Amino acid sequence: MIKDITLGQYFPGESVIHRIDPRVKIILTLAYIVMLFVAKGPIGYGICLAALIYMIAVSKISLRIILRSMKPLLFIIVFTAILNMFYIPGRILVEFWILRITYEGIETAIYMALRIAMLISGTFVLLTYTTSPIMLTDGIEHLLNPLKKLKFPVHELAMMMTIALRFIPTLIEETDKIMSAQKARGADFESGNLINRARALVPILVPLFISAFRRADELAVAMECRCYRGSVGRTRLKVLKMQPLDYIAICVSLVLCVSIILSAVM
């Protein structure tokens, strides 16, 4: 059951989207999010949607996975849409008791739902599904590099993120294992009142914490054995380098951004 979480999962591949430099991807994702909020009217949304559909098609990530990742947020999408539908004033379409639905309301509801759905699927396709966690933190470290001048521990932060991301699947697996083991001894996590259920978590949490500390300890020793001492004098195996593909991606995105802004202003 825990294994069904797809949030933040990486699907390996060789597509154009996979190959774009992580720094470029992070910036383009930010631009994409901003554009979703700038966009107005069918033209702006149309461009965003077309870009999204193109990305999904190229990345070869199955539509089922994308739809599944939206499932937990479905409630928020529907809720926002309904709220907008009833509360936007304008030309009345249907009136019923104190509820009235307006043309403008329906329009806004559709746009809102589209915006949230596109926001989620877009960031997933552009970032998490197609960028390995290591590339992602690498990209973040590079982008934050200027902060080093302010004595901000950029490398340490990136290393912590890398380690945290690396251990999420391990911990999930571990939780699954411990849960099964306690279930085999008759532990019951599903029935009883809230207090009983909270108490039932102790047999999972204690071993989980102990193993997390053990892993942390082992990892620290292993890193020290390899003379890890932070960022000073550290070089990389894979140096990030901008490729023609990255410049093309930036140019195309720029054109799209300008047209979205223009369509919104005019």
Residues that bind another protein (CB under 8 A): 3, 11-13, 62, 64-65, 177-178, 180-188, 202-203, 206-207, 210-211
Nearer of residues 99 and 195 to another protein, judged by Cβ: 195
Nearer of residues 102 and 182 to another protein, judged by Cβ: 182
DSSP 192: S
- Three-state SS at 94: strand
Q: How many Cβ atoms are within 10 Å of 206's Cβ, its own excluded?
A: 11
Nearer of residues 53 and 206 to another protein, judged by Cβ: 206
Nearer of residues 205 and 223 to another protein, judged by Cβ: 205
Q: What is the closest distance, in whole angstroms, from the C-beta atom of residue 33 to another protein in the complex?
A: 26
Q: How many Cβ atoms are within 10 Å of 199's Cβ, its own excluded?
A: 11
Q: What is the closest distance, in whole angstroms, from the C-beta atom of residue 215 to another protein in the complex?
A: 11
| Torsion (CA) 33, 34, 35, 39 in degrees, nearest 10 | 110
Q: What is the closest distance, in whole angstroms, from the C-beta atom of residue 65 to another protein in the complex?
A: 7
Nearer of residues 63 and 78 to another protein, judged by Cβ: 63
Alpha-carbon gap, residue 163 to 185, rounded angstroms: 33
Q: What is the closest distance, in whole angstroms, from the C-beta atom of residue 186 to another protein in the complex?
A: 3
> Between the CA of residue 102 and those of 78, 90, 111, 127, what are the distances in Å?
17, 6, 14, 37
Alpha-carbon gap, residue 7 to 129, rounded angstroms: 9
Q: What is the closest distance, in whole angstroms, from the C-beta atom of residue 196 to another protein in the complex?
A: 12
Alpha-carbon gap, residue 86 to 201, rounded angstroms: 42
Asked if residue 200 lies in contact with residue 155, where contact means CB atoms within 8 angstroms, the answer is: no
